[in-house]
Amino acid sequence: MKKIKVYFQDYNNVLTFLGKREEIEIVGDARDCDCIVLWQDVRAYLQELGVINKMYMKKPLVVVQHGRAASNDYLPPNTFPLIADKFCCWGERDRQRLIKAGYGDRAVVTGSTLVSYLQPREIHDGKNIVFVPIITTHEEPDNIKAYWKLKQIELSKSTEKLMKSYDKLREAWNAWEVEETSATEGSVPYYNFNKDWRLIAKITYLHDKRLYVGDVVQTLQSNITHVTDSMKLLSLSDCVVGIEEGTFQLLAMAMGIPCVMVEGFQYRELGGIDYSTVDMVKTKAVRRVQLSEIEKTIDEELANPDSLKEERERVVKDEFWNGEGQPEDNIINVIKGVVNNG
């Protein structure tokens, strides 16, 4: 069987699978391919490639959705033109956005290739609360405001645990005075104090790591280990906290993890374009509260993690994968379709 020659640009691991498919041959020059597959056609050099291709090379072009609600690029305030012949949507909600933008005939629901990265939750001690700051063009003060509040909660709970063992610790500074199952000798590790409510910051290289004190997991979206590292963290997570419902929260929902959102953040601008009127993604699958209510809300979700299970499953079906076919196979079929019809 003749292989389809594909030139692709990956981001967020959504196209990594192409290099593993027997029917696909990856080429390094777009001029040599049968089909161009990109993660976006609206910004920077990939937009330029799309325009050049449309004018001169005239190769079939497929865009595969790279993140939650990425289809918003084709709606106001950006209203970027869809250059691609086909756009592979994660779910029906993105297809509806493209219909609204006037591109319904080019929108195909395939599901997200990130489905293949999902993994079972791991049994672990204590409770891990993962804070995921929003990604814009710089570090947002709303990120730090929320994170420092969460850090205060962690320290407060750790202090309570310290005081419960205070007298014993004065006599014998040993880890098992705080955590009976600890075999550590000598000084008490900090994780023994915050084990029951451990805060972890999941940041990217766009965030200021110096402002996130304590346990930090730092990943880069363009790195091949980005998604596997994120999934490993999620497999050990008990609650995800943030200030917007983004891709990480959608992955958490797909793995059955409760999510809590802090109210108050609003986009401002991106690339000189006013984003203040852009609606944040909001669903009924998360608890949405003021920062003053965050501790109570997280503790409620930890105590009853399945309270919004049905709502999470509906969002996952509508925005991530509806369960019809395997996303990778569905995308390959889209590629075959544009090549054969081109």
Tell me: do 167 and 80 sit in the same domain.
no
The answer to whether 16 touches 46, Cβ cutoff 8 Å, is: no
pLDDT in tens, 177-229: 888 888 766 678 888 899 999 999 999 999 999 999 999 999 988 888 999 99
**Can you give the residue range of the structural domain that contains 275?**
128-319
Please check whether residue 212 lies inside any domain of the structure: yes
Does 156 have pLDDT greater than 80? Answer: yes
Q: Are residues 256 and 187 in the same domain?
A: yes
The string of pLDDT tens digits covering residues 302-321 is 999 999 999 999 999 999 99
Same domain, 267 and 214: yes
Are 107 and 191 part of one and the same domain? no
Residue 122 is assigned to a structural domain of this protein:
no
Return contacts of 150-154, CB within 8 angstroms, 24+ apart: 150/199, 150/241, 150/294, 151/199, 151/213, 151/214, 153/197, 153/199, 153/294, 153/295, 153/298, 154/129, 154/194, 154/197, 154/198, 154/199, 154/214
* CATH number assigned to the domain comprising residue 223: 3.40.50
Identify whether 188 is part of a domain.
yes
Which pLDDT tens digit goes with each residue over 67-97?
A: 999 999 999 999 999 999 999 999 999 999 9
State the pLDDT at residue 342. 63
Count of domains for the chain:
2
